[in-house]
Amino acid sequence: MSLQSEARATAAAFAVRPGFVRQLRLMVAAWRASGSGKALIRRMLTVVVVIAATVYGQIRLNQWNKPFFDALSRRDINDFLVQLGVFAVIIGTLLVLNVTQRWTVENLKIELRRGLVRDLVGHWMMPRRAYWLSHSGPMGVNPDQRMHEDALKFCDLTADLGVGLFQATILFGSFAGILWSLSSDFSVRFAGADYVVPGYMLWAALLYAGLGSLLSYGVGRNLIHRNAERYASEAVLRFSLVRVNEHLDAISLAEGEDDERLRIERYLADVLAAVRRLALGLTNLEWVKAGFGWITTVAPILAAAPLYFSGKVSFGGLMMAAAAFTQVESALRWFVDNFSIIADWRAALLRVASFRQAVIAHDERPAFDSHIEYADGDAGMLVIDGLEIGSPAGHDGLEPGRLVVKAGDHLQIEAAQGTSKTRLFRALTGLWPWGKGRITLPGGERIVYVPRGTPYLPRGSLREILAYPGALEGHGDAAFTHALERVGLGRLVALLDATERWEHELSQDEQLSIVFARILLQAPPWVLIDDAFTALDADMQERVADIFGNALPQTAVIHIGRAGPVLDALFTHVARLVKVSGMATVDDDAPAPGSTPASPSDSP
């Protein structure tokens, strides 16, 4: 299989959408894997108990209708007042149960979200996985929205719809029996003969609600697709706004405001078009929902009227039957009332489940048939054998063909014209597996990677940034102070515990100096650098040479690119990255996700 076909096949695997049952299984697996299973079961059992008690209270309220309205029809003031007292007790109890149910459901939503987001973030932040996913096409776009907004919406709607469906089911089961008993001997006279229709009131409620559900499905079935379309377009718009905000300086200097405004307006037009299509679908659904809502004000009385006029029930019995019909019809009409919400829920489920399938797909697919081989070897030694890195412009290889780097060695890899230093860096980190050869990594030892460009500084205090990605424990104040002073940033010692957006507060040179201060503090056994020395001024280059030459004598350093006159003396070994004959077919701009080989290190 060619490298290009491997990339396309892997990306195609990410594009496969799981079916509805698979989506539900993915969500259940997420909650189980997150450790929230027992807590969710406890909260759901609490909801079940509260709903059961509420339904019992509603049954008692329905039974209360008969004596209350019979007392009215008899003009019995004493019985009327007694029934008002009974009503107060029932309503007071139902009020307490309603408030308890709301509190329990809101806590259920919190637990659902906690479990789901923890699972998604846990899989997404597995070593190298977020990088692969970001290059997987549409599935890797805006993962933040899928884990934040989509997960929030899905959990909230799941709790509301689940509780509503369960309550509607219990209500139907409870009041269906009441309707059946009230109309068990109902008969219709036709052509001089009486025809018995057992449970007439129940069949009428089923027919009425079933007709509404069918109409709702027919009118609103396209809402699922329209909701998903809206979410996708909203994500693109939001991402474009965030991107502009992060690059305001470059945009302002290039006078690119008009271009960015036009681009944002195009994305906004896409959002508004999607919202209009959704609004049209919701409007069409409202014809059914509102129409049945108005008819329902009189439908229970119309359905129960034959029982009253035939003398089978009293006026109180008529009101009791009408109330029971309303409860059964309301339970059966749950689908009608919630169809637009169900469509919204299905769209959120699709996006979250598809994302979870993507982040776990790495574990479900075999590795590439042909790629650079990665292995763990002995500690204190990194070996590169016959490495060739594939690209559209041909293969890049190393001279000599076998490199052995030992603890404390300083290796500089110079790149010939037309070769890619960054592609070699990614191959050594495991992010670019295309090519051939073998890389044997120092087993059990951490490798710190320093990519080219502006370094990543996580949100937090300077102390946390210097300890990143490890914990603060194990480093005293003196160590932090020494690290900053050694790289010429002693003025920041007083700000060690200040939390700022340091990427905005520090210049690019200072941010890069923070990276070398971090290395000095943590003293890793291996450091791999992608052409970062040329971005340093002469003073900082001298400080870096002092750090690796004197402060960290046991740290092996591999630098890809020219070091400059100040740092040249630091390197005792030199290799070259050169062009190798042969052309590759891999798409340089679209690395395939999911099938990453063995990671060089567990460190970021």
- Confidence band of 184 (pLDDT split at 50, 70, 90): low
pLDDT at 4 over 50: no
> Could you tell me if 428 and 439 are in contact, meaning their C-beta atoms sit under 8 angstroms apart?
yes
Residue 371: φ, ψ to 5°: -165, 175
CATH superfamily of 373-579: P-loop containing nucleotide triphosphate hydrolases (3.40.50.300)
**Average pLDDT of the chain?**
80
153 vs 161: CA distance, rounded Å: 12
Q: Which two tokens stand for residue 6?
A: 């491997």
Is 222 in a helix, a strand, or coil?
A: coil
Percentage with pLDDT > 70 across the chain: 82
Distances (CA, A) of 241 to 150, 246, 249: 19, 9, 14
55 vs 167: CA distance, rounded Å: 8
Residue type, 469: P
- Confidence band of 182 (pLDDT split at 50, 70, 90): low
**Per-residue model confidence (pLDDT) at position 12:** 44
pLDDT at 187 over 70: no
Query: CB-hemisphere CA count at 13 Å for 143?
Result: 23
Residue type, 566: V
Closest to 426 measured CA to CA, from 562, 513, 576, 531: 531
Q: What mean pLDDT is predicted for residues 248-276?
A: 82
| DSSP characters over 421-484 | HHHHHHHHHTS---EEEEEEEETT--EEEE-SSSPP--SEEHHHHHHTTS-STT--HHHHHHHH
Residue type, 102: R
Q: What mean pLDDT is predicted for residues 1-29?
A: 61
Instruction: Return residue ranges of the chain for CATH 1.20.1560.10.
Output: 19-360
- Confidence band of 526 (pLDDT split at 50, 70, 90): very high
Q: What mean pLDDT is predicted for residues 342-366?
A: 77
Look at 243 and 570; give whichever has higher pLDDT: 570
Distances (CA, A) of 148 to 189, 202, 347: 62, 44, 15
375 vs 368: CA distance, rounded Å: 15
pLDDT at 15 over 70: no
pLDDT digits (tens, 9 = 90+) for 449-500: 998 877 888 888 899 989 888 888 878 889 999 999 999 999 999 999 988 8
Look at 101 and 535; give whichever has higher pLDDT: 101
Q: What is the DSSP letter of 138?
A: G
**Per-residue model confidence (pLDDT) at position 365:** 40
pLDDT at 360 over 90: no
**Per-residue model confidence (pLDDT) at position 197:** 64
Burial class (CB in 10 A: 0-12, 13-18, 19+), 526: buried
pLDDT digits (tens, 9 = 90+) for 561-601: 887 777 888 888 999 999 886 544 443 333 333 333 333 33
**Per-residue model confidence (pLDDT) at position 442:** 94
Q: Which fold has domain 19-360?
A: ABC transporter transmembrane region fold (1.20.1560)
Look at 98 and 285; give whichever has higher pLDDT: 98
pLDDT digits (tens, 9 = 90+) for 413-431: 998 888 889 889 989 988 8
pLDDT at 55 over 70: yes
pLDDT digits (tens, 9 = 90+) for 306-349: 766 766 666 776 677 677 777 776 776 777 678 778 888 988 88
Q: What mean pLDDT is predicted for residues 217-228?
A: 76
pLDDT at 142 over 50: yes
**Per-residue model confidence (pLDDT) at position 138:** 62
**Per-residue model confidence (pLDDT) at position 308:** 67
Burial class (CB in 10 A: 0-12, 13-18, 19+), 578: middle
**Per-residue model confidence (pLDDT) at position 424:** 92
Instruction: Return residue ranges of the chain for CATH 3.40.50.300.
Output: 373-579
- Confidence band of 275 (pLDDT split at 50, 70, 90): confident
Give Cα 125 to chain centroid, integer Å.
12
Write the CB contacts of 373 (distance below 8 Å, at least 6 apart in sequence): 437, 438, 439, 597
- Confidence band of 518 (pLDDT split at 50, 70, 90): very high
Number of C-beta neighbours around residue 186 at 10 A: 18
231 vs 248: CA distance, rounded Å: 26
**Per-residue model confidence (pLDDT) at position 137:** 60
Select the highest-mean-pLDDT range: 30-39, 179-188, 432-441.
432-441
> Could you tell me if 364 and 123 are in contact, meaning their C-beta atoms sit under 8 angstroms apart?
no
- Confidence band of 363 (pLDDT split at 50, 70, 90): very low
Among 37-41, 332-336, 409-413, 444-448, whose mean pLDDT is lowest?
332-336
Q: Which two tokens stand for residue 302?
A: 């119309």
